Structure 1
């Protein structure tokens, strides 16, 4: 109990010292405030930007393997670029072949896309991302609906003229009323709207958004657009099992089946690429890791200056209170009592600076930045407070130790 009482008294002494030199206190914490603000602001911006970009790529799905002609990553250095163009595109027959035989996939689907204009009466919406899909599309990609329903398997197989449209499209074509059950025209063909996507909001970096998308059965899409080598290329995608080796097993199995379906001999190279959608997210994460390091460097210099400022002030404070330290020690004050006084004072200075920097970042998050929302995470708050505490301890430990080791007689004599 005595230890805790003395610790509390040390803390009170520290607060009193800070209050008695308010101007010096404010000037001392500015360096830490600027440093913490720089680091946490960069981290908040990076986290928010990374999250926004990754969410914008959500249309690619998660844990998904795609069959494409071109690889997401750069291929072998000696591989001629023109060979990629000679590769055949995926086909509906290959989709059915994989769907029947893949054992390491939760689902397999095929889709083809085009840009179209959707009309309803005198209203129209241009630049719609129109996609023809298989029934299994919902099992590979997320299809979140605000109104209506998804297609039934029989409707897909029968190539019915049905559509699921984005929120923006529905609002433009049928303002002030629900579009579900209404008719729209696509390339002169009538489609009945059976569902409306959940609103996603404004897209980022002009990436596709469900608000401007339209899904129709693959068969209906094929009636309007030619798909194949000289037409629109369909994309075959498979969702891997939820396990550590799920995508690895799926990639190996898909490679073998695609080579068998295309009749490739053992000595022939693959004429297709299997792309993991996580590649893009990992690439984005690597870029922002570099930016985070830059944030540490920028903020680190400010914190370093702030730490030296606090240390300098603490040495001055020890010098000013040398007589008081001698009197306290002559009355029986323990060394750790004196140590804690100055250590707590340094930590309080640094923490106040850190909290001020975090508050400034929080206020910054209310600034409008277009479609980007700055979000100050709890992790970044803890990081800021932790860095502040460490800076306070490092900056205050030497002056506090010198004060604790003073000889009481020599300290009282000091003028």
Structure 2
């Protein structure tokens, strides 16, 4: 009961301090408000950007390793000239890995190019056309809005069938069901058998399924040359759930691919193994730098706000010295006086922090193109934690001075 009374009195004194000199208090709390706003706004922006950009790389798949000539991520010493001389993946290597590898759920082979697709008088430029094998659906999550995936017979017979994205469907076949309709790729007719699930707009629309067209790999090779001096194909392997980090898969893959390419033990690998985690880790380090900048920017404002709260508390102690003396003469313990002022400082700081949170929440309603800003519960808790910490740090010295006042001297104070 005594603690509830203590909290209530501290809250009452904090509100009195807020009302007694409203302008001074608001200006003092402005630093905390601006600081919390700066930090949480940056964190909210970073979290939203990170979520949006990472979803744009969902086409890389999860638990998937891809064999390419080049590495996805490189530094200032990226040896592109060495990667450029590496051999292209071949279909025979895909068949070899499919038959031999044991630590993969599935193996896929595909190649892609940007092209234009047509239907009647309508056309769509910048289409991401991919030729795939039947096992592609076992490596990557192919979500369809309508229709179906290719049958194994259609893949093996290199039938002219296609799955298209929503944007392509709406452009080529406005206000019509695209299933069963004909489209042309380089003058060749293809029948639409499926439509990809809509992904929507993103900050980075890399390989968006909304602008994608997928056909059997055999049909693709009739239209485009794949291999050396042509388009570069990729081999993708999906790891098993029990293979954490795909360590077993990578080790087996390296051994099999080196054997297939006839590499000697002294020769280095002439291929790169790429995982989506490489890009995610790079993005994570970039966002860490942005978050650190938010801490620096907001930290200075919070520091100023901390001094403001300390100033309010010192003034409050001086104004209530006589009351403190009376309370101590009536038996109030030092810790009661200490916590009374400490809670008051925390409440004042929390008011500034909550105001900052409200401002951040308000900006989440501002449209920022395709970016959806979301104030997470984690950031709210962080803001409240920072506010209460600033209140404790700013109020500990004034509260300690108040607790150590001599009751007789305090009562005599005017």
> Per the shorter chain, which TM-score range?
over 0.9
Distance 2:343 2:94 in 1: 68
Distance 1:393 1:236 in 2: 58
Taking a change above 3 Å as real, the CA distance of residues 346 and 241 of structure 1, as seen in their structure-2 partners, is: same
What SS does structure 2 have at the residue aligned with 1:392?
A: helix
Gaps of 5+ in 1: none
Q: State the partner residue of 2:171.
A: 172
User: Cα offset for 1:250?
Assistant: 1.1
What SS does structure 2 have at the residue aligned with 1:384?
A: helix
User: Cα offset for 1:68?
Assistant: 1.0
Q: State the partner residue of 1:351.
A: 350
Distance 2:245 2:33 in 1: 47
Q: Is the 8 A contact 2:117 2:184 kept in 1?
A: yes
Q: State the partner residue of 1:72.
A: 72
Distance 1:381 1:74 in 2: 36
The 5-angstrom pairing of residues 306-325 of structure 1 reads 306-325=305-324
Q: State the partner residue of 1:135.
A: 134
Gaps of 5+ in 2: none
User: Cα offset for 1:327?
Assistant: 1.5
The 5-angstrom pairing of residues 48-59 of structure 1 reads 48-59=48-59
User: Cα offset for 1:389?
Assistant: 0.7
Distance 1:5 1:310 in 2: 23
User: Cα offset for 1:86?
Assistant: 2.3
Distance 1:117 1:322 in 2: 81
Q: State the partner residue of 1:30.
A: 30
The 5-angstrom pairing of residues 9-24 of structure 1 reads 9-24=9-24
User: Cα offset for 1:75?
Assistant: 8.7
The 5-angstrom pairing of residues 35-114 of structure 1 reads 35-74=35-74, 81-114=80-113
Q: Is the 8 A contact 1:105 1:239 kept in 2?
A: yes
Q: State the partner residue of 2:273.
A: 274
The more displaced of 208-217 and 239-248 is 239-248
The more displaced of 283-292 and 330-339 is 330-339
Q: State the partner residue of 2:184.
A: 185
User: Cα offset for 1:73?
Assistant: 4.0
Name the TM-score, length of structure 2 as normaliser. Answer: 0.95
Q: State the partner residue of 2:118.
A: 119
Q: Is the 8 A contact 1:165 1:197 kept in 2?
A: yes
What SS does structure 2 have at the residue aligned with 1:113?
A: strand
Q: Is the 8 A contact 1:10 1:338 kept in 2?
A: no
| Residues 1:300 and 2:294 are matched in the alignment | no
Distance 2:283 2:7 in 1: 48
1:240-271 CA-partner distances (Å, limit 9, x unpaired): 22246442211111111111111222232222
Distance 1:349 1:2 in 2: 21
User: Cα offset for 1:76?
Assistant: 11
Distance 1:72 1:296 in 2: 30
The more displaced of 245-254 and 93-102 is 245-254
Q: What do you get for the CA RMSD once the two structures are aligned?
A: 1.9
Distance 2:177 2:52 in 1: 29
Distance 2:56 2:205 in 1: 9
What SS does structure 2 have at the residue aligned with 1:87?
A: coil
Taking a change above 3 Å as real, the CA distance of residues 365 and 3 of structure 1, as seen in their structure-2 partners, is: closer
Q: State the partner residue of 2:5.
A: 5
Q: State the partner residue of 1:207.
A: 206
Q: State the partner residue of 2:363.
A: 364
Q: Is the 8 A contact 1:71 1:275 kept in 2?
A: yes
Q: Is the 8 A contact 1:14 1:341 kept in 2?
A: no
Distance 1:394 1:80 in 2: 52
Q: Is the 8 A contact 1:69 1:271 kept in 2?
A: yes
Distance 1:80 1:135 in 2: 34
| Residues 1:234 and 2:233 are matched in the alignment | yes
Q: Is the 8 A contact 2:70 2:80 kept in 1?
A: no
What SS does structure 1 have at the residue aligned with 2:232?
A: coil
1:216-254 CA-partner distances (Å, limit 9, x unpaired): 111111111111112111110111222464422111111
Distance 2:346 2:202 in 1: 44
Distance 1:403 1:271 in 2: 73
The 5-angstrom pairing of residues 243-262 of structure 1 reads 243=242, 245-262=244-261
Q: State the partner residue of 1:333.
A: 332
The more displaced of 50-59 and 387-396 is 50-59
Name the TM-score, length of structure 1 as normaliser. Answer: 0.95
User: Cα offset for 1:81?
Assistant: 4.7
What SS does structure 2 have at the residue aligned with 1:380?
A: helix
What SS does structure 1 have at the residue aligned with 2:10?
A: helix
